[in-house]
Chain A
Amino acid sequence: NAGVTQTPKFRILKIGQSMTLQCTQDMNHNYMYWYRQDPGMGLKLIYYSVGAGITDKGEVPNGYNVSRSTTEDFPLRLELAAPSQTSVYFCAIGTANNQPQHFGDGTRLSIL
Protein backbone atom coordinates (compact mmCIF):
# COMPACT_ATOMS: atom_id res chain seq x y z
CA ASN A 1 0.00 0.00 0.00
CA ALA A 2 1.28 3.35 -0.96
CA GLY A 3 2.58 5.41 1.92
CA VAL A 4 3.08 2.73 4.59
CA THR A 5 5.95 0.24 4.38
CA GLN A 6 6.35 -2.67 6.77
CA THR A 7 9.36 -4.92 7.11
CA PRO A 8 9.88 -7.81 7.29
CA LYS A 9 6.92 -9.44 5.55
CA PHE A 10 7.46 -12.80 7.24
CA ARG A 11 9.42 -13.94 10.26
CA ILE A 12 9.76 -17.04 12.41
CA LEU A 13 11.03 -16.58 15.95
CA LYS A 14 11.88 -18.95 18.72
CA ILE A 15 10.28 -18.54 22.13
CA GLY A 16 12.19 -15.97 24.15
CA GLN A 17 13.79 -14.21 21.21
CA SER A 18 13.21 -10.53 20.54
CA MET A 19 12.73 -8.58 17.34
CA THR A 20 11.63 -5.24 15.96
CA LEU A 21 8.92 -4.82 13.34
CA GLN A 22 9.56 -1.77 11.23
CA CYS A 23 6.96 0.68 9.94
CA THR A 24 7.78 3.71 7.81
CA GLN A 25 5.44 6.23 6.24
CA ASP A 26 6.06 8.89 3.63
CA MET A 27 2.78 10.78 3.99
CA ASN A 28 3.83 12.98 6.92
CA HIS A 29 0.85 12.06 9.09
CA ASN A 30 1.03 12.45 12.82
CA TYR A 31 -1.12 9.49 13.86
CA MET A 32 0.34 6.01 13.55
CA TYR A 33 -1.00 2.70 14.83
CA TRP A 34 0.02 -0.89 15.40
CA TYR A 35 -2.59 -3.63 15.21
CA ARG A 36 -2.50 -7.38 15.44
CA GLN A 37 -4.90 -9.65 13.60
CA ASP A 38 -5.45 -13.18 14.81
CA PRO A 39 -7.12 -15.78 12.55
CA GLY A 40 -10.83 -15.14 12.10
CA MET A 41 -10.72 -11.98 14.14
CA GLY A 42 -10.73 -8.27 13.60
CA LEU A 43 -7.83 -6.00 14.38
CA LYS A 44 -6.79 -5.26 17.94
CA LEU A 45 -4.92 -2.04 18.70
CA ILE A 46 -1.54 -2.59 20.36
CA TYR A 47 -0.08 0.93 20.53
CA TYR A 48 -0.60 4.21 18.81
CA SER A 49 1.21 7.50 18.47
CA VAL A 50 -0.15 11.00 17.95
CA GLY A 51 3.20 12.43 16.92
CA ALA A 52 6.95 12.20 17.35
CA GLY A 53 7.83 11.53 20.98
CA ILE A 54 4.27 10.62 22.02
CA THR A 55 2.94 7.09 22.31
CA ASP A 56 0.10 5.44 24.17
CA LYS A 57 -1.22 1.98 24.87
CA GLY A 58 -4.05 0.42 22.97
CA GLU A 59 -6.19 -2.57 23.80
CA VAL A 60 -3.46 -5.29 23.90
CA PRO A 61 -0.07 -3.69 24.75
CA ASN A 62 1.40 -6.39 27.00
CA GLY A 63 4.62 -7.89 25.64
CA TYR A 64 5.26 -5.02 23.23
CA ASN A 65 7.05 -1.70 23.21
CA VAL A 66 7.11 1.18 20.76
CA SER A 67 9.02 4.36 20.14
CA ARG A 68 8.42 7.35 17.88
CA SER A 69 11.55 9.40 17.43
CA THR A 70 10.55 10.73 14.00
CA THR A 71 7.30 11.37 12.16
CA GLU A 72 8.19 8.73 9.58
CA ASP A 73 9.07 5.73 11.75
CA PHE A 74 7.08 3.79 14.33
CA PRO A 75 8.84 0.52 15.21
CA LEU A 76 7.21 -2.17 17.32
CA ARG A 77 9.45 -4.27 19.54
CA LEU A 78 8.68 -7.72 20.89
CA GLU A 79 10.64 -8.68 23.98
CA LEU A 80 10.76 -12.34 25.04
CA ALA A 81 8.54 -13.63 22.23
CA ALA A 82 5.74 -16.00 23.24
CA PRO A 83 3.56 -18.32 21.12
CA SER A 84 0.55 -16.11 21.92
CA GLN A 85 2.18 -13.37 19.86
CA THR A 86 1.91 -15.41 16.69
CA SER A 87 -0.20 -13.14 14.52
CA VAL A 88 -0.25 -10.79 11.58
CA TYR A 89 0.81 -7.28 12.50
CA PHE A 90 -0.40 -4.22 10.65
CA CYS A 91 0.85 -0.68 10.83
CA ALA A 92 -1.50 2.13 9.85
CA ILE A 93 -1.45 5.89 9.57
CA GLY A 94 -4.18 8.36 10.36
CA THR A 95 -5.36 10.95 7.90
CA ALA A 96 -8.83 12.51 7.98
CA ASN A 97 -10.03 13.07 11.53
CA ASN A 98 -6.98 11.12 12.74
CA GLN A 99 -8.58 7.71 12.22
CA PRO A 100 -6.56 4.82 10.70
CA GLN A 101 -6.93 5.23 6.97
CA HIS A 102 -3.95 3.63 5.25
CA PHE A 103 -2.52 0.27 6.19
CA GLY A 104 0.71 -1.49 5.39
CA ASP A 105 0.68 -4.99 3.91
CA GLY A 106 1.46 -6.60 7.25
CA THR A 107 4.14 -8.70 8.92
CA ARG A 108 3.32 -12.36 9.42
CA LEU A 109 5.03 -13.52 12.58
CA SER A 110 5.22 -17.08 13.89
CA ILE A 111 6.70 -17.95 17.25
CA LEU A 112 7.64 -21.56 17.78
Chain B
Amino acid sequence: AQSVTQPDIHITVSEGASLELRCNYSYGATPYLFWYVQSPGQGLQLLLKYFSGDTLVQGIKGFEAEFKRSQSSFNLRKPSVHWSDAAEYFCAVGDTNAGKSTFGDGTTLTVKP
Protein backbone atom coordinates (compact mmCIF):
# COMPACT_ATOMS: atom_id res chain seq x y z
CA ALA B 1 0.00 0.00 0.00
CA GLN B 2 1.17 3.49 -0.74
CA SER B 3 2.15 5.83 2.08
CA VAL B 4 3.58 9.29 2.65
CA THR B 5 5.77 10.54 5.49
CA GLN B 6 6.40 14.16 6.29
CA PRO B 7 9.10 13.97 8.96
CA ASP B 8 8.79 17.56 10.15
CA ILE B 9 5.60 18.42 12.01
CA HIS B 10 6.51 22.07 12.46
CA ILE B 11 9.16 24.26 10.85
CA THR B 12 10.00 27.86 11.62
CA VAL B 13 12.01 30.03 9.23
CA SER B 14 12.81 33.71 9.05
CA GLU B 15 11.29 35.80 6.31
CA GLY B 16 13.67 35.88 3.35
CA ALA B 17 15.36 32.62 4.31
CA SER B 18 15.25 29.52 2.15
CA LEU B 19 12.86 26.68 2.84
CA GLU B 20 12.88 22.94 2.32
CA LEU B 21 10.01 20.71 3.41
CA ARG B 22 10.65 17.00 3.33
CA CYS B 23 8.43 14.30 1.91
CA ASN B 24 9.16 10.58 1.63
CA TYR B 25 6.82 8.16 -0.07
CA SER B 26 6.30 4.45 -0.50
CA TYR B 27 4.86 3.20 -3.76
CA GLY B 28 5.48 0.20 -5.98
CA ALA B 29 6.07 2.05 -9.23
CA THR B 30 6.67 5.58 -10.45
CA PRO B 31 4.15 7.60 -8.50
CA TYR B 32 2.16 10.72 -9.07
CA LEU B 33 3.33 13.23 -6.46
CA PHE B 34 1.74 16.41 -5.23
CA TRP B 35 2.27 19.28 -2.83
CA TYR B 36 -0.67 21.24 -1.47
CA VAL B 37 -0.92 24.27 0.79
CA GLN B 38 -3.72 24.93 3.25
CA SER B 39 -4.29 28.25 4.95
CA PRO B 40 -6.32 28.28 8.18
CA GLY B 41 -10.00 27.63 7.57
CA GLN B 42 -9.46 27.03 3.88
CA GLY B 43 -9.40 24.12 1.50
CA LEU B 44 -6.25 22.76 -0.08
CA GLN B 45 -4.61 24.49 -3.00
CA LEU B 46 -2.40 22.57 -5.38
CA LEU B 47 1.15 23.98 -5.47
CA LEU B 48 2.71 21.58 -7.94
CA LYS B 49 2.55 18.05 -9.25
CA TYR B 50 4.84 15.43 -10.75
CA PHE B 51 3.56 12.86 -13.22
CA SER B 52 6.61 12.04 -15.32
CA GLY B 53 9.55 13.60 -17.16
CA ASP B 54 11.73 16.34 -15.69
CA THR B 55 12.31 15.55 -12.03
CA LEU B 56 12.49 19.22 -11.04
CA VAL B 57 8.99 20.60 -11.01
CA GLN B 58 8.06 24.25 -10.86
CA GLY B 59 4.86 25.33 -9.15
CA ILE B 60 2.93 28.39 -8.17
CA LYS B 61 4.03 31.05 -5.67
CA GLY B 62 7.73 30.43 -6.41
CA PHE B 63 7.80 26.84 -5.11
CA GLU B 64 9.62 23.94 -6.69
CA ALA B 65 10.06 20.28 -5.84
CA GLU B 66 12.48 17.60 -6.92
CA PHE B 67 11.59 13.96 -7.40
CA LYS B 68 14.44 11.67 -6.33
CA ARG B 69 13.59 8.07 -7.07
CA SER B 70 16.67 6.68 -5.32
CA GLN B 71 15.65 8.38 -2.09
CA SER B 72 11.87 7.99 -2.52
CA SER B 73 11.60 11.70 -1.84
CA PHE B 74 9.78 14.71 -3.23
CA ASN B 75 11.00 17.67 -1.20
CA LEU B 76 9.47 21.11 -1.58
CA ARG B 77 11.73 24.16 -1.78
CA LYS B 78 11.50 27.91 -1.98
CA PRO B 79 14.56 30.18 -2.15
CA SER B 80 13.09 33.08 -0.17
CA VAL B 81 10.11 32.71 2.12
CA HIS B 82 7.47 35.43 2.51
CA TRP B 83 5.31 35.95 5.58
CA SER B 84 2.28 34.96 3.49
CA ASP B 85 3.76 31.47 3.04
CA ALA B 86 2.89 30.60 6.64
CA ALA B 87 0.44 27.71 6.32
CA GLU B 88 0.10 23.94 6.46
CA TYR B 89 1.76 21.98 3.67
CA PHE B 90 0.73 18.52 2.57
CA CYS B 91 2.54 16.06 0.38
CA ALA B 92 0.50 13.38 -1.39
CA VAL B 93 1.17 10.34 -3.54
CA GLY B 94 -1.33 9.34 -6.20
CA ASP B 95 -2.32 5.86 -7.27
CA THR B 96 -1.65 5.83 -11.00
CA ASN B 97 -4.34 3.24 -11.58
CA ALA B 98 -7.27 4.24 -9.45
CA GLY B 99 -7.10 8.02 -9.24
CA LYS B 100 -6.77 8.13 -5.47
CA SER B 101 -4.20 9.93 -3.37
CA THR B 102 -2.69 9.28 0.03
CA PHE B 103 -1.79 12.37 2.04
CA GLY B 104 0.91 12.95 4.60
CA ASP B 105 0.02 14.41 7.99
CA GLY B 106 1.32 17.82 7.01
CA THR B 107 4.04 20.29 8.02
CA THR B 108 3.11 23.56 9.65
CA LEU B 109 5.27 26.45 8.48
CA THR B 110 5.75 29.48 10.69
CA VAL B 111 7.52 32.52 9.26
CA LYS B 112 9.34 34.85 11.65
CA PRO B 113 9.56 38.55 10.77
How many interface residues does chain B have, given as a range? 20 to 34
How many interface residues does chain A have, given as a range? 20 to 34
B74 at the interface (CB under 8 A from A): no
B63 at the interface (CB under 8 A from A): no
B103 contact from A31, A43, A106, Cβ within 8 A: A43
* Interface membership of chain B positions 70-90, coded 1 if the CB is closer than 8 angstroms to chain A and 0 otherwise: 000000000000000000001
Task: Give the contacts of B17-69 with A (CB-CB under 8 A).
Answer: 32, 34, 36, 41-46, 49, 51
- Contact check, B90 vs A42: say whether CB atoms are below 8 A apart: yes
B109 at the interface (CB under 8 A from A): no
Binding site for B on A (CB under 8 A): 1, 4, 31, 33, 35, 40-45, 48, 50, 58, 90, 92, 94, 96-106
